[in-house]
Structure 1
Amino acid sequence: MEVDSPDNQGSKRPVDDVEVSEPPKPKRIKALDPNVVNKIAAGEIIVAPMHALKELIENAVDAGSTSLEVLVKDGGLKLLQITDNGHGIDREDLPILCERFTTSKLKEFEDLSSIGTYGFRGEALASISHIAHLTVTTKTAGSSCAWRAHYGEGKLVPAKPGQNAAPKATAGRGGTQITVEDLFYNVPSRRRAFRSSSEEYAKILDVVGRYAVHCSGVAFSCRKHGDSGVSISTPSAANTVDRIRQIHGSAVANELVEFESSDEKLGFRASGLTTNANYHVKKTTILLFINHRAVESTTVKRAIEQTYATFLPKGGHPFIYLDLEIEAHRVDVNVHPTKREVNFLNEDEIIEMVCSEIRTKLSQVDSSRTFLTQSLLPGVQTIETIQHDQTAKSPAGKAATTPKTPATAKRPYENNLIRTDSKVRKITSMLAPSPSQPHPDPNTPSRNPPSILDDGLQYETTDRQPLKIALTSIKALRSAVRSSMHNTLTEMFATHTYVGLVDERRRLAAIQSGVKLYLVDYGLACNEFFYQVGLTDFGNFGVIRLDPPPKLIDLLNIAAETEQQEYTNNNGEGAEDVFSRAPEVVSQSLIERREMLNEYFSIQISEDGDLLTIPLLLKGYTPSLAKLPRFLLRLGPYVDWSGEEECFRTFLRELAAFYTPEQLPVPPSESVGIDEEPKESNEEVEDPFIITRRTQMVRMLEYTVFPALRTRLVATSRMLRGVVEVADLKGLYRVFERC
């Protein structure tokens, strides 16, 4: 180690002995690669599939569309397609369609202060093309064909390697179809951030639902790829309340209150619908539109929740749809990349005026009620809303009402045109009974003259008062039916038109719902329907009188002999003793319970064992009495008499099986060749009873059963296996378009 000598202490070292290090040089600033810039911008605008769809919906509405169809696969990550019928895109504009900042809605920066459209910056399609495979098919009114173009990185690309990138002529309908495939395929970190496709699809449905409620005059539909049914479907002629009912349910739509507020000094006009104090949920649902753009505002949401705090119980929240129109120069729409938020002048004053109007409307709920009444005129299906105000009375003492003028329906497109009318009454429903059926005595007066619907049966009206059923078991069974309800299937049956009977042996009928044709297993549908009728009309069934009344034991013996014969043919002998004792045991059990059977199920049995009546579930429909012995026999082993709920459930299931239409054999062929003569010998002759029953079944299905299904059936998920889609008019149009 070198030590300085005393002579050198305190002296400076020469400059040459000091090691001088060079200062670090600053890094040079370079321009980012354009691809990196575009992907960064795309990541700011397209955060998730729902943001891409929001941009596409806004562009479609700006294009004057009246119908939007959305198709989604894997939550929009695999496929996101939107088809509209707007004015389309010119062939000359396709090369620059997906370049950044190309738009037809903005020319100068000052135009931002008066923007009145959804999109304006020209970034949506450009951003999507940098993170997905984009295909555009468009046709204008003046074009003889449609044009299809593929985009990548903001530029035209060939559909396949080696092909020309220029747009190709193709068949297509007027409007634009934009297909986004493999979203975020080149941004794996963003793609891995999505947890599940179902969660992303739920967000997509939320976006579609918001615009479907707001955009009046525009039809919306959204479905998953591969599904036959749609998740959202709103017709173009539907008003705002009906759109809310379609998307958010009748529980919300039935409790809506309309409000309006405006101020010329503040330059705004607000209108909307909000729920009254009878409705509340755990989370606030707010559909906020400012200048027709769906936005979010924590300030507005908090102010509305504070307004409802004095009307709803603790933890309760409302539903509100708010359409806020503010003068364009007072709004700054360019403050968020996804345009999710906007700023506007006098925000606090405007929100306070809106909340004050809502508070006033809610305070009037106690003095004003809304009742829904349905007209009973045949063929009329309008629902009127009658306002009954206790404070505003007419001089005659009646509530003052103002009839609303119905909106003029727009003419649908050909592929959406429903070509049947369920209100049309066929002439066969007005004919007299068939000559083969017994006619009543003309000298005997009748309250209800027979028609073709009741086969000459005579109906009598009794003065029996209906029972009010408040049994917990029945309420639980009804709740179980509602919990298993399938919304799409129920809507299909509620709007269907009966086409005709297809196969009596397999119990198939054809119905039309909208523009789709279905085959329905009416045996399965009737089984569920009559079970539900048993629950809704429990204790208040009609009766079918048997004259003369048969002996209960005789009917049970017939059923036991049939069961024994079937058992012997399938399993051999060995159960004769069981079948011989079963009629006596079941007969004794039913006679002991005859008071309960009469009170709840309208089955009257005399002390001597005579069967006097059986229940009537549906007027105009007669069950097959050939099934009566088997029904009575099954009331023994197949009904759980030990518990109340299980007893009612199993009994009503057996009753529904008895009322379900039976399978009829295939009729013998009556066709004869041109050069052949009819065979007179060994010709198969069908039983006259089966001929009569087949004719009766055709009439009852068309005029009684399916009309009842339309009005009363709550279709459950188990009925899905009994419905098959046969044809779709839209699909047929697409096939012919390709030809």
Structure 2
Amino acid sequence: MAENMEVDVATPRGTKRKADETQPPLGGAPRKIVALSQDVVNKIAAGEIIVAPVHALKELIENAVDAGSTSLEILIKEGGLKLLQITDNGHGINRDDLPILCERFTTSKLKAFEDLTSIGTYGFRGEALASISHIAHLTVTTRTKESSCAYKAHYADGKLVPAKPGQTAEPKPTAGRQGTQITVEDLFYNVPTRRRAFRSASEEYAKILDLVGRYAVHCSGVAFTCKKHGDSTAGISVPANATTLDRIRQVHSTAVANELIAFQAANDRWGFKSQGYVSNANYSIKRTTLLLFINHRSVESSAIKKAIEQTYAQFLPKGGHPFIYLSLEIDPQRVDVNVHPTKREVNFLNEDEIIEIICDEIRSNLGKVDTSRTFMTQSLLPGVKVPTAVTTPTQDVGNAIPETPRPPVTPATQKGRSQKPYENSLVRTDAKVRKITSMLPPGQHPLSEAAADGGGPEEMDYEYSDREPTLCRLTTVKELRAEVRDNMHNGLTDVFASHTFVGIVDERRRIAAIQSGVKLYLVDYGMVCNEFFYQVGLTDFGNFGSIKFNPVLSLHELLTVAADHEKQIADAEDELNWEEVVDAVKEQLLSRREMLAEYFSLEISEEGDLLGIPLLIKGYTPSLAKLPQFLLRLGPHVNWLDEKGCFHSFLRELASFYVPESLPPPPPPPSTAAAGEIAEAIEEDPGIVARRRQLARAIENTIFPAFKARLVATKGLLKGVVEVANLKGLYRVFERC
């Protein structure tokens, strides 16, 4: 009886049934085939094209470059999941095209299937914006050259939608510059499983920086800026006029750019030409970095990557890998671009032959390069010598600062017996060893010697306010920053970036000695400080700290002090009414007190009291004796009528105020003074002594380290830097003697 009983055994949840186990529904009829709803189709397609925020950004960058843009500004929040915004200055989108902008398969780059054989643009299928609109909130603001205003449109599921319920969905006129701004918010908000798959926002942001860096290197003539929402500094910032080598330097570091060699390869039979930069045998990293562009599209190719790695195997140590930037242009008729939903891969004819020619050219160029090999020795044991860098160059170096500097020291290993390094190749690496000032005659020891007697660093109290950092969007400030970058001298910038502070030589003429490599330089630190603090004013614009006065200072009294000083040194025939000058400058500063406080942290009360001045750098306080003159010069020397001129002239005056003042030389020791002058010879104003010690600490421990980290040395600073010794040249002189 029990054997004939039927027991329903539930199928385990998630168990996959085999085809022959599948039972038709009751009645014996097969299941009916139905068409998926359009919403499901669109979301499936969107999931194939937009896999992550970086893929959405790739499509938007390519569309912007196709639109003839010369400047791209990218803003990211939470790795692109919360906000992904790209602003370009291209030709824009016509008002009449906005209704179908986000429909699938709408494009201005392709009309017939045969056009795929000669496609010369990045995008061509017309699916990018459509896919994004199905999985995010999409807003487009665009203006063409002929249009009198910009138009703003909102999209959802490929269609125009109103910005708010009850409003019309038609694009609305708005203010805007020429070009297009695309804002993608809440990516994958309606695909929760995809959104939960992302581990961290920082990981997605790193992928975005890698992608932007690739296109920033390749797209000559296009400026790129990419930053996190709320950050004052950009993760990537590349000017439009930068060369390919400078773009690599700014995106991937100077250490890579200094070790690159250019190469070109072409072949008419296989219909291709290539160019790029590859690292030489002095440079190696743990993983291969390959920036590959085929017909100007960033793609991946495991075959090309593996072949190049095998080529480098005979030049690099075991475990070392190269850096390669390769731009490959192939006859469009030989390339199939439509093989991957995200266009990450392409197929092309004669792949093996093309790769072989490229690798042969790389191998040939590597064999021709004969540059210096560098080695590092270091000991961590206490009491032994500090780390010493040793170079063994094969070429002599000139006395002038080179426009393209020598490669920096890079770690490597040397097998076999060690050799004693030549003294003329030793490089100073520790600022705490004997300074140049110890070689000066007694009584001529400047600031650095006075600092040695001053004990520890000056104690300064700082309070952190709750003020949130502001993001500067002013075009005039960006233009001023670009002017500094355009005027950069690469060689001199690297000298400051790799220098070691030696000592202050003359505090009256504001001259210090630094060493970079095997060269010794004298630096007019007054001139360099002027440029440095101007650059700090630009980079930290609107985010300065503040030096508060307690008690507050009278603005009128400060201006009067400066006017009296100017009156004393002015020509006797000068009939200028200085009281009117004081009143005019005071009125001018009071009328602009809100702007001065917001942009420059120069705080003035309604009653005319000076509450605070800008703090540009921690650990250094400018001479307050220069404060009256600084305030008085803000009247006639600042262009208050033009925004860009105002910012430029004000920051120049502020930088001049922050430049360390010139101090009188210290008095000679008693042994060098006459008998009746001994008392005067050993006395010096205590205020000057204290200021001498403060400046000594600030210059060595604050200002010059800041040069090393932040200074963009401009060509004008060449007049303030003089090479006084080259260790190798000195040894050649001594050998002849």
Question: TM-score, normalised on structure 2?
Answer: 0.56
**Residue 42, structure 1, aligned to residue 31, structure 2:** no
Matched with 2:245 is 241
Assess if the C-alpha contact under 8 Å between 1:374 and 1:384 holds in 2: no
Distance 1:497-1:138 versus aligned 2 partners, 3 A rule: closer
Please point out which of 661, 679, 690 is paired with 1:627. Answer: 690
Q: Which residue of 1 aligns with 2:151?
A: 147
Matching of residue 76 in structure 1 with residue 80 in structure 2: yes
Deviation at 1:297, TM superposition (A): 0.6
- 1:184 aligned to 2:188? yes
**Are 2:270 and 1:207 equivalent residues in the alignment?**
no
Tell me the equivalent position of 1:55. Answer: 59
**Pair 525,299 (structure 1): closer, same or farther in 2 beyond 3 Å:** farther
Counterpart check, 1:547 vs 2:551? no
1:275-297 alpha-carbon deviations (Å, 9 max, x no partner): 10111010110000000000001
Per-residue CA deviations over 1:334-371 (Å, capped at 9, x if unaligned) read 00000000000000110111111111111112279799
Q: Is the 8 A contact 2:546 2:614 kept in 1?
A: no
Match of 1:521 among 615, 627, 650: 615
1:694-715, Cα deviation, whole Å (9 max, x unpaired): xxxxxxxxxx999x75993435
Matches of 1:80 and 1:180, distance apart in 2: 5
SS in 2 for 1:362: helix
Q: Classify 1:94/1:422 alpha carbon distance in 2 versus 1 (closer, same or farther; 3 Å).
A: closer
What runs of 5+ residues in structure 2 fail to find an aligned partner? 2-24, 373-393, 408-473, 486-504, 519-531, 553-598, 602-612, 623-663, 672-680, 712-737
| Pairwise CA distance, 1:59 | 0.1
Matched, 1:346 2:341: no
Which residue is 1:218 aligned to? Answer: 222
| CA displacement at 1:658 relative to structure 2 | 5.2
How do residues 15-30 of structure 1 correspond to structure 2 at under 5 angstroms? 24-30=28-34
Q: 1:75 to 1:289 in 2, by over 3 A?
A: same
Q: Does 1:229 align with 2:233?
A: yes
2:297 corresponding residue in structure 1: 293
Are 1:282 and 2:286 matched, yes or no?
yes
Paired letter, 1:383: E
1:195 is aligned to 199
Letter in 1 for 2:690: K
- With over 3 angstroms needed to count, the CA separation of the structure-2 counterparts of 1:370 and 1:299, relative to structure 1, is farther
Q: CA deviation at 1:548?
A: 3.4
2: CA distance, partners of 1:348 / 1:132: 42
Q: Distance in 2 between matches of 1:413 and 1:372?
A: 42
SS of the residue 2:370 aligns to:
helix
1:540-599 CA distances to partner (integer Å, 9 max, x unpaired)? xxx97542359xxxxxxxxxxxxxxxxxxxxxxxxxxxxxxxxxxxxxxxxxxxxxxxxx
Q: Deviations over 1:70-125 (max 9, x none)?
A: 00000000000000000000000000000000000000000000000000000000
The C-alpha deviation readout for 1:236-288, integer Å capped at 9, x for no partner, is 00000100111100010000100000000100001000110111010110000
1:372 to 1:177, Cα distance in 2 relative to 1, 3 A: farther
SS at match of 1:282: coil
The residue that corresponds to 1:431 in the other structure is none
Are the counterparts in 2 of residues 370 and 386 from structure 1 also a CA contact under 8 Å?
no
Structure 1 residue 28: deviation in Å?
1.3
Deviation at residue 25 of structure 1 after TM alignment: 1.8
Among 125, 132, 151, the residue aligned to 1:128 = 132
| Corresponding residue of 1:712 | 707
What letter matches 1:72 in structure 2?
Answer: I
Change (3 A) 1:108 1:498: closer
Matched, 1:383 2:403: yes
CA distance in 2, matches of 1:212, 1:90: 27
Quickly say closer, same or farther: Cα 1:159–1:456, change in 2 above 3 A: closer
Corresponding residue SS for 1:116: coil
How far apart are the structure 2 equivalents of 1:623 and 1:230?
45
Match of 2:264 in 1: 260
Give deviations 1:633-657, integer Å, cap 9, x for gaps: xxxxxxxxxxxxxxxxxxxxxx777
Structure 2 residue matching 1:714: 3-state secondary structure: helix
**Aligned amino acid, residue 312 of structure 1:** L
Which amino acid is the alignment partner of residue 547 of structure 1?
Answer: P
Alignment CA distance shift 1:275-1:374 (3 Å)? farther
Residues 1:256 and 1:490: Cα distance change in structure 2 (over 3 Å): farther
The alignment status of 1:358 with 2:362, answered yes or no, reads yes
Answer whether contact 1:89 1:140 (CA < 8 A) is retained. Answer: yes
Instruction: Return the offset for 1:524.
Output: 2.3
Contact 1:372 1:385 in 2 (8 A): no
Q: Are the structure 2 counterparts of residues 57 and 25 from structure 1 closer, same or farther at C-alpha, using a change threshold of 3 Å?
A: same
1:422 and 1:207 map into 2 onto residues whose CA distance is 26
Give the drift of 1:626.
Answer: 3.3
Q: Which moved more, 1:361-370 or 1:348-357?
A: 361-370
Corresponding residue of 1:304: 308
Q: Is the 8 A contact 1:113 1:331 kept in 2?
A: yes
Cα gap change, 1:272/1:494 in structure 2, threshold over 3 Å: closer, same or farther?
farther
> Which whole-Å deviations, capped at 9, do the CAs of 1:4-56 have from their partners, x for residues lacking one?
xxxxxxxxxxxxxxxxx987322111111000000000000000000000000
Identify the residue that residue 698 of structure 1 maps to in structure 2: none
Count of residues in Structure 1 that have an aligned counterpart in Structure 2: 464
Matched, 1:323 2:312: no
Matches of 1:209 and 1:25, distance apart in 2: 58
Aligned residues of 2:100 and 2:106 also touching (Cα < 8 A) = yes
The answer to whether the 8 A contact 2:279-2:324 is kept is yes
- 1:422/1:125 CA distance change after superposition, 3 Å: closer
State how far apart, in whole Å, the 1-side matches of 2:309 and 2:533 are: 34
SS at match of 1:30: coil
RMSD: 4.7
8 A Cα contact 1:422 1:497, kept in partner: no
Distance in 2 (alpha carbons) for counterparts of 1:291 and 1:163: 44
Change (3 A) 1:501 1:96: closer
Q: Displacement, 1:304?
A: 0.7
Distance 1:288 1:303 in 2: 13
Q: Which has the greater radius of gyration? A: 1
The answer (yes or no) to whether the contact 2:154–2:162 under 8 Å persists in 1 is yes
Tell me the amino acid that sits aligned with residue 626 of structure 1.
V
Q: Tell me if structure 2 keeps the 8 A contact 1:370–1:385.
A: no
Q: What TM-score results when the alignment is normalised by the length of structure 1?
A: 0.56
Q: Counterpart of 2:360 in 1: which secondary structure?
A: helix
1:94 partnered with 2:98: yes
Q: Which amino acid aligns with 2:278?
A: T
Q: Is the 8 A contact 2:260 2:280 kept in 1?
A: yes
CA-to-aligned-CA distance 1:416-444 (integer Å, 9 cap, x gap): 43299779xxxxxxxxxxxxxxxxxxxxx
**Partner SS state of residue 39, structure 1:** helix
For residue 366 of structure 1, give the secondary structure of its aligned residue in structure 2: coil
Distance change (3 Å), C-alpha of 1:318 and 1:203: same
For residue 480 of structure 2, the aligned residue among 418, 426, 445 is 418
The letter of the residue matching 1:273 is Y
Structure 2: distance between partners of 1:166 and 1:467:
63
Give the aligned residue type for 2:170. A
Identity of aligned residues (%): 59
Query: After the TM superposition, which residues 108-123 of structure 1 pair with which residues of structure 2 at under 5 Å, given as runs?
Result: 108-123=112-127
Q: 1:89 to 1:314 in 2, by over 3 A?
A: same
Three-state SS of the structure 1 residue aligned to 2:618 is helix
* Structure 1 residues 371 and 103, CA gap change in structure 2 (3 angstroms): farther
Q: Deviation of residue 383 (structure 1)?
A: 1.9
Measure, in 1, the Cα distance between the counterparts of 2:70 and 2:710.
31
